[in-house]
Chain A
Amino acid sequence: MSGRAFVFGDDVDTDVLAPGRYMRLPIAELARHCLEALDPAFAAEVRPGDIVVGGRNFGLGSSREQAAEALKALGVAAVVARSFAGIFHRNAINLGLPVVACAEAGCIAAGDRLTLDLAAGTLVNATTGETLTFRPLAPVLMTLIADGGLVPHLEKRFRAPTTERSA
């Protein structure tokens, strides 16, 4: 996958990703306010396939998975950060949003063109020519992401193959 980088700093919290006062709204509307406290233009400018880049402890705060869901709803292809808050990390994987912990995420600049290979653990920055490496997720978690998240993954278990394609 490849896309443009939208870069944020350390400690991007869940109240910034999914502001509490919009939590009653459907996800598509909530997503329009995603990250607006840090970058008011973010939701309008981000395009499907783009990649959000953060610093340390990305996604700290509450367990609300709308934080990850809002990014997905905007078409964000992956989040790359120096480190993640645990619940956000779990939620993202369970929603099928790839999360990449990369110690060198700090050298990515806004607008850089990035190409991610999740299985190989490489991130190529076409703008700077650099290649960063990261530890790929465990195989069982890669399967979850490949299935599109926990729900499609469980659908395989609960739904017979014939009903899977209907509806």
Chain B
Amino acid sequence: MSAMTLAEKIVARASGRASVTPGEIVTARVDLAMIHDSGGPRRVGPILKRLGAPIWDPSRVALVIDHYLPADDPESAAIVDGARRYAAAEKLGHFFDGEGICHVVVPERGLLRPGMFVVGGDSHSPTGGAFGAYMFGVGATEMAGVLATGELWLEVPGTVRIEWTGRLAPGVSAKDIMLFLCGRLGMDGGRYQAVEYVGEAIRALPMQERMTLANMTAELGGQTGLVPPDAVTAAAVAAAGGDAGDWARWASDADAPVLEHHVFDASELSPQVAAPHSPANARSVAETIGRHVDIAYIGACTGAKLADLHMAADVLRGHRAAAGVTLLVAPASRHDQARAEADGTLAVLRAAGAELLPNACGICAGYGTARFGENVTAISTTARNFRGRMGADSSQVYLASPYTVAASAIEGRIADPRPHLSGASR
């Protein structure tokens, strides 16, 4: 049998074949389907009804309510309510209501394991790749097809390998790695293939940082973003109540061909900031330093997990947001918020003047009434800063790591976090 990459091995397993070759179209069986209130029941429900098809296996479906929370207008309330009723009527195996953002909640409940083949009704579904699961985003029609049949078509991807040697410097994080890659390779750098993150700097990342990495594979234009499973993965899955199984088999063969192999030195990476209106505008923080900000937003699946809150607190400890700066924190899950409360992180953030928002997509999705106003300049830990996504078309959103957003909150302008580190998160 020819040598295969990690992505090819998972696709081969899911499609019941001994081996697969990039470019061929296979039918793959899905181990878990994740949907949320926006692209989920209100869109897939009517299609399933039209097909007259029941859900193939409700025990393999997870529904998360996160996009339309807080449901503070009638349309949002109706959408959320409909999702709740759907979960009960269809007896879905996993239902999380107000527990946090789907990409964080599903793995924190032990539902992702190395080698799984998973689809999510959301573009940031590659987040699951942090656990060595082949996970990717599909639209609602395709999700309806999956729910009806348990399978979908897939063009077997090639692999774009991205290697980071060395170690990240203090104050530099996985978000900086991904912003840098978006700036360097562009938002189609992943070529809708499987991106595989390897190297010393990646192996040194804790699980939630790996999630940030895999998450923003979406911005890099990859279909999925895999971190080869290791002891960190196994420990994280076990801590979440799951079983990582025989994780060591989920690794690329040394001689498996890849499409591209990029090598970068992590020790040379500086904090990155992406200027409006694209993650691809990422440059070293030095290039935007001093730009005035009105809002510092710490939120989203990619930017408000416990590890992200720790980074923000590291910088904010003993400081306050500058006068005139609104510091908003929307912890990515209720579980992470509870842990941040227990370990004193939230106290640091509150003392810095942070306003806490619900454990949901909130302003990142821009769906509800909570949006940035006209001409507001924000610096945000979220994943994308397209014009008009998080607020008015005239609002300007800069993307950066939790360290950099926190430092910018203190200074009232975009700031390099490195002089602000207290060292508490390291």
> Using a CB-CB cutoff of 8 Å, which residues 43-57 of chain B contact chain A?
47, 50-53
> Nearest chain-A residue to B47 (Cβ)?
A151
Contacts of A151 in B (CB 8 A): 47, 50-51, 141, 144-145
Segment of B107-115, B319-327, B384-392, B413-421 engaged in the interface with chain A: B384-392
What range describes how many residues of B lie at the interface?
35 or more
B221 in contact with A60 (CB, 8 Å): yes
In the assembled complex, the Cα of A132 lies from the Cα of B365 at a distance in Å of: 39
B123 in contact with A21 (CB, 8 Å): no
B53 in contact with A20 (CB, 8 Å): no
Any A CB within 8 A of the CB of B94: no
A20 in contact with B388 (CB, 8 Å): yes
In the assembled complex, the Cα of A94 lies from the Cα of B119 at a distance in Å of: 15
A91 in contact with B139 (CB, 8 Å): yes
One digit per residue, 1 when the CB lies within 8 angstroms of any chain A CB and 0 when it does not, for chain B 33-76 equals 00000110000000100111100000000000000000000011
Q: Report which of B139, B145, B367 forms a contact with A154, defined as CB distance below 8 A.
A: B145
> Using a CB-CB cutoff of 8 Å, which residues 43-101 of chain A contact chain B?
56-57, 60-65, 68, 83, 85-87, 89-91, 94-95
One digit per residue, 1 when the CB lies within 8 angstroms of any chain B CB and 0 when it does not, for chain A 106-142 equals 0000000000000000000000000000000010110
Any B CB within 8 A of the CB of A103: no
Any A CB within 8 A of the CB of B237: no
A87 in contact with B139 (CB, 8 Å): yes
B139 in contact with A90 (CB, 8 Å): yes
In the assembled complex, the Cα of A64 lies from the Cα of B67 at a distance in Å of: 12
A87 in contact with B138 (CB, 8 Å): yes
Any A CB within 8 A of the CB of B142: yes
Any A CB within 8 A of the CB of B140: yes
**Given A19-B388, A23-B38, A90 and B25 touching (CB < 8 A)?**
no
In the assembled complex, the Cα of A16 lies from the Cα of B389 at a distance in Å of: 9
B47 in contact with A57 (CB, 8 Å): no
> Nearest chain-B residue to A21 (Cβ)?
B366
In the assembled complex, the Cα of A155 lies from the Cα of B145 at a distance in Å of: 10
B364 to chain A, nearest CB (A): 10
One digit per residue, 1 when the CB lies within 8 angstroms of any chain B CB and 0 when it does not, for chain A 127-167 equals 00000000000101100000001110011011100010000
Contacts of A140 in B (CB 8 A): 25, 153
> Using a CB-CB cutoff of 8 Å, which residues 204-223 of chain B contact chain A?
221, 223
Contacts of B139 in A (CB 8 A): 63-65, 68, 87, 90-91, 94-95
B388 in contact with A37 (CB, 8 Å): yes
A154 in contact with B137 (CB, 8 Å): no
B51 in contact with A141 (CB, 8 Å): no
Q: Report which of B50, B371, B387 forms a contact with A155, defined as CB distance below 8 A.
A: B50
Contacts of A150 in B (CB 8 A): 141-142, 144-145
In the assembled complex, the Cα of A65 lies from the Cα of B387 at a distance in Å of: 19
> Nearest chain-B residue to A68 (Cβ)?
B139
B145 in contact with A57 (CB, 8 Å): no
In the assembled complex, the Cα of A94 lies from the Cα of B137 at a distance in Å of: 14
In the assembled complex, the Cα of A151 lies from the Cα of B38 at a distance in Å of: 19
Q: Report which of B47, B123, B386 forms a contact with A63, defined as CB distance below 8 A.
A: B123
Contacts of B389 in A (CB 8 A): 15, 20
A70 to chain B, nearest CB (A): 12
In the assembled complex, the Cα of A64 lies from the Cα of B153 at a distance in Å of: 19
A91 in contact with B386 (CB, 8 Å): no
Any A CB within 8 A of the CB of B270: no
**Given A21-B371, A37-B388, A60-B221, A159 and B141 touching (CB < 8 A)?**
no
Q: Report which of A56, A63, A89 forms a contact with B122, defined as CB distance below 8 A.
A: A63
B25 in contact with A141 (CB, 8 Å): yes
B187 in contact with A60 (CB, 8 Å): yes
In the assembled complex, the Cα of A163 lies from the Cα of B122 at a distance in Å of: 33
Contacts of A60 in B (CB 8 A): 187-188, 221
**Given A63-B39, A63-B121, A91-B141, A15 and B278 touching (CB < 8 A)?**
no
> Nearest chain-A residue to B391 (Cβ)?
A21
A154 in contact with B142 (CB, 8 Å): no
B142 to chain A, nearest CB (A): 5
B148 in contact with A154 (CB, 8 Å): yes
Q: Report which of A37, A85, A89 forms a contact with B393, defined as CB distance below 8 A.
A: A37
- Known pairs A37-B387, A63-B121, A68-B139 / 6 extra A-B pairs, C-beta < 8 Å: A20-B366, A21-B366, A60-B187, A86-B221, A95-B141, A140-B153
24 contacts between A and B (CB under 8 A): A11-B278, A11-B280, A15-B389, A20-B389, A37-B393, A57-B186, A62-B122, A63-B138, A64-B38, A65-B39, A65-B140, A85-B188, A85-B221, A86-B223, A90-B138, A95-B139, A140-B25, A140-B153, A141-B153, A149-B141, A151-B50, A151-B51, A158-B53, A158-B148
The interface of chain B, by Cβ under 8 A from chain A, is 25, 38-39, 47, 50-53, 75-76, 79, 121-123, 125, 137-142, 144-145, 148-149, 153, 155, 186-188, 192, 221, 223, 278, 280, 365-367, 371, 384, 386-389, 393
Cβ-closest 7 pairs across A and B: A86-B192, A65-B139, A91-B139, A63-B123, A63-B137, A57-B188, A24-B75
